[in-house]
Chain A
Amino acid sequence: MIPQRHVSGDPLLKVENLSKTYSLDSGVKGGGTVNSQVLFDVNLTIERGEFVAIMGHSGSGKSTLMNILGCLDTPTSGHYWLDGRDIASLSDDELARVRNRNIGFVFQGFNLLKRMTALDNVATPLLYAGATRSESRKRALELLRQTGLGNFAAYQPNQLSGGQQQRVAISRALVNNPQLILADEPTGNLDTQTSREIMAIFEQLNREQGITIVLVTHEDDIAACTRRLVRLQDGRVVHDGRVPT
Chain B
Amino acid sequence: MSLLAIIGEALRALRLNRLRTGLTMLGMIIGVAAVVLMLAVGQGAQTTVNQAISSMGSNLFIVVPGATSSGALRSAAGSVQTLTMGDALAIAHLPSIKATAPLITGTAQLNYGANNWSTSVTGVTPDYFNVRDWPAESGALFTEVDLRSATRVVILGQITARNLFGDEDPTGKTIRIKNSPFVVAGVLAPKGQSLDGRDQDDAAFIPITTGQSQIFGNQFPGTIRFLMVQGRSDEVMDEAETEINQLLRQRHRLAEGTENDFTVRNMAALAAVATGAAKVMSIMLGSIASISLLVGGIGIMNIMLVSVTERTREIGIRMAIGANRRAILTQFLLEALVICIMGGLIGVAIGIGGAWAVSRATDMVVVITFGMVALAFAFASAVGIFFGFYPAKKAAALKPVEALRYE
| Chain B neighbourhood of A114, CB < 8 A | 314
B181 at the interface (CB under 8 A from A): no
Binary A-proximity of B1-43 (CB < 8 A = 1, otherwise 0): 1101100100010001000000000000000000000000000
Q: Is the CB of B319 within 8 A of A99?
A: yes
Q: Which of A76-102 contact B (CB under 8 A)?
A: 92-93, 96-97, 99-101
Q: Is the CB of A67 within 8 A of B12?
A: no
- A129/B322 contact (C-beta < 8 A), A72-B404, A111-B404 known: yes
Q: Is the CB of A97 within 8 A of B320?
A: no
Give the residue name and chain of the B residue nearest to A96 (CB): B324
B317 at the interface (CB under 8 A from A): yes
Q: Is the CB of A99 within 8 A of B322?
A: yes
B: number of interface residues (CB 8 Å): 25
| Chain B neighbourhood of A107, CB < 8 A | 404
Q: Is the CB of B1 within 8 A of A116?
A: no
| Chain B neighbourhood of A128, CB < 8 A | 1, 318, 321-324, 327
Interface residues on A, range: 20 to 34
Q: For the complex, what is the distance from the CA of A223 to the CA of B113, rounded to whole Å?
A: 117
| Chain B neighbourhood of A116, CB < 8 A | 12
| Chain A neighbourhood of B313, CB < 8 A | 111
| Chain A neighbourhood of B4, CB < 8 A | 133
Give the residue name and chain of the B residue nearest to A99 (CB): B322
Binary A-proximity of B310-333 (CB < 8 A = 1, otherwise 0): 000110111111111111000000
| Chain A neighbourhood of B326, CB < 8 A | 93
Q: Is the CB of A96 within 8 A of B322?
A: yes
Q: Is the CB of B324 within 8 A of A101?
A: no
Q: For the complex, what is the distance from the CA of A72 to the CA of B317, rounded to whole Å?
A: 11
A14 at the interface (CB under 8 A from B): no
B400 at the interface (CB under 8 A from A): yes
B401 at the interface (CB under 8 A from A): yes
Q: Which of A126-147 contact B (CB under 8 A)?
A: 127-130, 132-133
| Chain B neighbourhood of A231, CB < 8 A | none
Q: Is the CB of B325 within 8 A of A72?
A: no
A227 at the interface (CB under 8 A from B): no
Q: For the complex, what is the distance from the CA of A6 to the CA of B246, rounded to whole Å?
A: 99
| Chain B neighbourhood of A105, CB < 8 A | 320-321
| Chain B neighbourhood of A73, CB < 8 A | 399-401
A166 at the interface (CB under 8 A from B): no
| Chain A neighbourhood of B12, CB < 8 A | 116
Give the residue name and chain of the B residue nearest to A123 (CB): B5
3 A-B pairs closest in CB distance: A100-B322, A96-B324, A128-B322
5 intermolecular pairs with C-beta atoms under 8 Å apart: A93-B325, A96-B324, A105-B320, A127-B5, A132-B2
Extra contacts besides A67-B401, A130-B2, A133-B5 (11): CB < 8 Å:
A72-B320, A96-B322, A99-B320, A111-B313, A111-B316, A113-B318, A114-B314, A115-B16, A128-B321, A128-B322, A128-B323
**Residues of B in contact with A (beta carbons under 8 Å apart):** 1-2, 4-5, 8, 12, 16, 313-314, 316-327, 399-401, 404
**Residues of A in contact with B (beta carbons under 8 Å apart):** 67, 70, 72-73, 92-93, 96-97, 99-101, 105, 107, 111-116, 124-125, 127-130, 132-133, 172, 176
